[in-house]
Chain A
Amino acid sequence: MAEHRLKPLTPLGHDRPETVSIGPVTLTEVVDQALASLAARQGREEEVAQKAKAAGIPLPAAARAEPGTPYGAFWLSEQSWMVEAPYASHEDIRAILLPLFGDAASITEQTDAWVRFDVSGSDLSAMFERLCNVDLRAAPDNLATRTVIEHMGCYLVRRARDRLSVFGARSSAAALWHALETAAHSAY
């Protein structure tokens, strides 16, 4: 990590990430993750797939997420993904990815564009059916989808049957946190 004199704030505006348990679920603000979008340039799709494979970066199918170390990824749109990596090792994730893909892909820093809240617990669908139009009961355990929660565009990335991440715009972190808390209180 670069040696500089600036101190970061969490998306919720504190020094340390928040966490709270409501009924059977736990909500956690996650800050130790770096993000970059990766989009194949036209005609370079095969090349990107090969380079990603070589670098250990998964490129999951539509509406799916794939975990990995250090790189995980979830699908954004045709030939574009969000790459996830640990923040401590990948703070400048774009600079790390660029040489891996050269000019075959467009790579954009996204780490601080998003707030990530992880929600874990049994029967998550009881909470999320009050938040967004995603059928978690029927959804696979590696679902990655965009959805809307209280007028806020979000990505829902399911990590396991009982655990998922909600990515929302960083500027509305407090509003999203409040929506999650309210739904949890209502559901459980």
Chain B
Amino acid sequence: MTQSNRIAGGQIDRTRTLSFTFDGVAYRGHPGDTLASALLANGVRLMGRSFKYHRPRGPISAGSEEPNALVELREGARREPNTRATVAELFDGLSADSQNRWPSLSFDAMSIKDRLSSFLTAGFYDTTFRWPASFWEKVYEPIIRKAAGLGAMSRLEDPDQYDKGFLHCDLLIIGAGPAGLAAALSAGRAGAQVILADEDFRMGGRLNAETHEVGGMTGAGWAVQAVSELSHMPNVRLMPRTTIIAAVDHGIYGAVERVSDHLAVPAPGKPRQILWRIYSRRAILAGGATERPIAFENNDRPGIMLAGALRAYANRWGVAVGRRAAIFTNNDDGLRTAADLKAKGVEVRVIDVRKGEEVVDSSGRLGLKSVTIRSGGRLETFPCEALGVSGGWNPNVNVASHHRGRPVWEPAIEAFVPGQGDIPGLAAAGAAAGRFSTRAALETGAAAAEEALSDLGLAVPARDLPQAEDGAYAIEPKWYVAGGKGRAWIDQQNDVTLKDVKLAHQENYTSVEHLKRYTTLGMATDQGKTANVLGLAVMAGLTGKSIPETGTTIYRPPYTPVAMGTLAGRSRGQEFKPKRLTPSHHWASEQGAVFVEVGMWLRAQWLPRPGETTWRESVDREVLQTRRSVGICDVTTLGKIDIQGRDAAAFLDKVYANNFASLAVGKCRYGLMLREDGIVYDDGTTARLGEHEYVMTTTTANAVLVFRNLEYARQCLYPDMDVQLISTTEAWAQFSVAGPNARRLLQKIVDQDISDAALPYMGCKEITVCGGLRARIFRISFSGELAYEIAVPTRYGDALIREMVAQGAEFDAVVYGTEALGVMRVEKGHVAGNELNGQSSALNMGLGKMVSRKKDSIGMVLSQREGMTDPDGYRLVGVKPVNSAEKLTAGSHFLDKGAAPVMANDLGWLTSVVYSPHLGSSIALGYLKKGDERRGARLRSVNLLAKTEVEVEIVSPHFFDPEGERLRG
């Protein structure tokens, strides 16, 4: 195809030609083109279909406000639906397809909906699709859902990388048009740290689209010069292709930098986009203004555009959308478009509302062929390929309203401007503030910068602004052309018409929020940038209220839509959360261990040996070998908190429900920690290493939370206690060594005597191992076996497990994982995660006596409330199947024999289930109503999800060595 509509001029690089395809057809354009400008240059006006009626559409804008020209950009896993052709930068090899059409863009079978539009007015879902009654879910909704949406996802993993980052500045300037550039020059020259961000790939804003001079040169030329000066200032960061998406609290702005979207693929190691959080002390919104249309019948045909866009395509991109054009305007700016087009040789007809003229209709199914003009009571047809419509300009107030401040109506320009002080530290300048001339933009930009500088205590430089036009902007409000029989579009993408607004009014959906929700006005991908003010002006007319009385809906972030990948950054896939590896991880990997995620940690779940085909075989072996001889398990993940200070003992008495003051130096004690509401929070052993020195262990899951709570108690509740805290979880590699041969194995490792006399049950010691490495040993057990935990500096953890395995060979020592750990703790009746569920009291767990009422510990008082001391409440029990061959399932509920499966008969549930190789049976812990009184009872354990049930016997939770002889051995 030839670039039939390419005319002279523009800021494109005609020395280079870029090839691209649209719907499979090859075209050519130039660097500096957008996809839309290049297609228009090639005579292509039809670029998309509307959402509801599948109406043929072309671009109406030349910027990010575009509702119509949405395409699926790129192919394969990089396919990107709903991409605005008006901002997609052309690159060589670009490929795009139209969307929301079948089978093709020019013939779309779904446009039948356009013919049925009488039935599909606003609110049609609510009133239409319930006839007959049962048809909604079975018939209508599946059809509607199939037709939903615009573009299609590839359903493939996004191959690109995204980054996130943080920037800091004195002054953030949003928009690099004349106001933004003037502000940046002032602030930059004053030495402030400045960030100048613009969503366009070419800085200069509207100057790039205009013909008037600035400082004796073209506006675009002046912009180039200004950018050049700024680029030499080390205190100024220029960020083209960067959209400020959100203004959040305290001067923080979200920004998206499109690093690689103008390339076929990102360079290796480089991100596609970066999400920046910009921390600014002051900010200036210089984001310009957006033109708005006037609604008239069939105002949505390809070739009908905003007048300023028509001008931009001609001036910036050297594109005449048509050789014959009409301009429909209610303001002076529309006349400028007419003048610029005429100067480029386009035949132009002006229809000026202020002269009593209006456009009442158009023709051309897939592209504009003519417009019908009413002038002095006469109708006439003007053949043209392009119509520029200008209903006035709306300042881009969006970002200034992100704190839900409402913009203010400015009658002189018939538009909303940002409210003063809606966002602390943010001021608007230029067209964004409703100051439309270039001169005013430069002046207000500089003034805003000067104000920011003096706020920041920086010297304000003398103002040095170039000459620029200061033309007037006269406007006569005109929102729609009355009297049409057909449809006049307000929100083009969502197909909201004048008639829909009238219907909303008729049904009393007159608040702007109701209007939006009832008609979907402004809910399309452009968020109503061209439609919202028009829609509410129409509603204002219908209700007889003024526009400011009618008000606006809330402007919500983001300013333009943002890729999910950008918001997620690098936190995805395996890198969603960092991995924490245990000291024995490398060794366990070599053994072929199966790992399981425990919070951020990866722990060995079991370590299969050759020949073992099921996990149960491995776990059974690990348990039996441990109970028969000795087993080793990495328990480094348990939280360890070093607690020191003169008041450490008193402090422990506050945070633990049981008594700690009486713990002797060199001993450990099991501690029970409650929340202030009396529910059990955490448990673990705490060892007294010295007079004023303890090390507390927490569960793996709660390590961080317990530390936080201890700091809370220390600083907020007991500020004068002399206590110092620091985490030592990572400093020590800690292993549990359990089983009848535990001492014999460890005695080969430990340099000192660890006989029962030297290190009795619940004793602890600082020792050395392997010939002098400092270490700690704790004689504690959660398996019911003679057991120790031994800790060495983490860098030696790998060596220690290798040493223990080697030294343990003579005992047939085994290394076990978390599954075997779980089996042994259930056999012994120790509560763990499934029982410590944040809903259970010490009484529920059979630990009620541990809560001392003689001291004021956290949670003591509220644990005594009637609901928590209910004698009929849940108690921890052990559960065995009556037939030991039957399998229990955790989460099954207890029912009495013969009781119907309804909640009124529910007696509790099984919390943890394991297979005990020791007992040769599935066993469980559970919470059972009046569990203490039901020992020996036979109940049903029912799993209604699998429709299975097992007859069970309620037993003591201590399945294994209930007298505790082994662990004291």
Interface residues of A (CB under 8 A from B): 2-11, 13, 31, 37, 39, 41-43, 80, 92, 95, 103, 106, 108-114, 129-135, 137-138, 150-152, 169-176, 178-179, 182-183, 185-186
Contacts and interface: CB of A to CB of B under 8 A. Distances in A.
B514 interface: no
Nearest to B582: A171
Nearest to B711: A77
Contact of A133 (B277, B586, B794): B277
16 contacts: A2-B774, A4-B770, A6-B796, A6-B800, A6-B803, A13-B585, A113-B727, A113-B728, A113-B729, A113-B730, A129-B167, A135-B279, A150-B575, A169-B580, A170-B794, A172-B580
A11 B271 CA distance: 28
Given A2-B774, A108-B728, A129-B166, A172 B800 contact: no
A42 B168 contact: no
B771 A138 contact: no
Contacts of A150: 570-571, 575, 578
Contacts of B163: 130, 183, 186
A111 B726 CA distance: 13
A92 B792 CA distance: 12
3 pairs of A and B residues whose beta carbons are closest in the complex: A185-B269, A106-B644, A112-B794
Contact of A172 (B579, B645, B726): B579
Contact of B731 (A106, A113, A152): A113
Contacts of A13: 581, 585-586, 798
B270 A186 contact: yes
B579 A170 contact: no
Interface in B172-198: 193
A3 B768 CA distance: 11
B724 interface: yes
A170 B730 contact: yes
A103 B692 contact: yes
Given A4-B771, A151-B577, A137 B168 contact: yes
B724 A39 contact: yes
B731 A8 contact: no
B578 A172 contact: yes
Nearest to A22: B269
Contacts of B730: 112-114, 169-171
B24 interface: no
Given A110-B726, A130-B164, A171-B580, A7 B799 contact: yes
Given A103-B692, A106-B724, A186-B269, 7 more contacts: A6-B792, A6-B800, A110-B731, A137-B193, A171-B582, A172-B600, A175-B575
Interface string B772-809: 11100000000000000000111111111001000000
Residue with the highest number of chain B CB atoms closer than 10 Å, among A113, A134, A185: A113
Residue with the highest number of chain A CB atoms closer than 10 Å, among B164, B692, B773: B773
A169 to B, nearest CB: 5
Contacts of A37: 726
Given A9-B586, A172-B578, A186-B271, A108 B795 contact: no
Given A37-B726, A108-B726, A171 B642 contact: no
B646 interface: yes
Contacts of B393: none
Contacts of A178: 575
A112 B580 contact: no
Contact of A138 (B168, B721, B769): B168
B164 A112 contact: no
Contacts of B585: 13
Given A150-B578, A152-B578, A171-B580, A113 B277 contact: no
Contacts of A3: 771-772
Contacts of B167: 129
Interface string B794-827: 1111111001000000000000000000000000
